[in-house]
Amino acid sequence: MSEHEAVYGFYTGREFVEFSAKLHGVTAVAEAADLAIERAGMTEAQGRKLDGYSRGMRQRMRLAASWCISPTCFSWMSR
């Protein structure tokens, strides 16, 4: 993850992931967000604003956003 974060603190974690997915043309946004957020271990925090997240939590939510765009990228985690 980059040292300089590109997250919008006024979004909730879920809104951020869904926004990123929509920008990249993902069609099943809600389903992709559900899976990616769960994989990142952020299900409980997804309704909170990003401004209230720790740095590590923001990084995990950014990771979830990237998984929505390219879900095959997280197949290595299931090994």
Q: Domain-by-domain residue ranges, the chain? A: 13-71
Task: Determine the pLDDT at residue 69.
Answer: 84
How far apart, in Å, are the Cα atoms of 37 and each of 32, 41, 75? 8, 6, 14
In contact, 35 and 71? CB cutoff 8 Å: yes
Task: Determine the pLDDT at residue 8.
Answer: 79
* Alpha carbons 6 and 79: distance in angstroms, whole number: 29
Residues in the chain, pLDDT under 70: 1-7, 71-79
Task: Determine the pLDDT at residue 79.
Answer: 46
Tell me what percent of the residues of the chain surpass a pLDDT of 70.
80
Task: Determine the pLDDT at residue 3.
Answer: 54
Task: Determine the pLDDT at residue 6.
Answer: 62
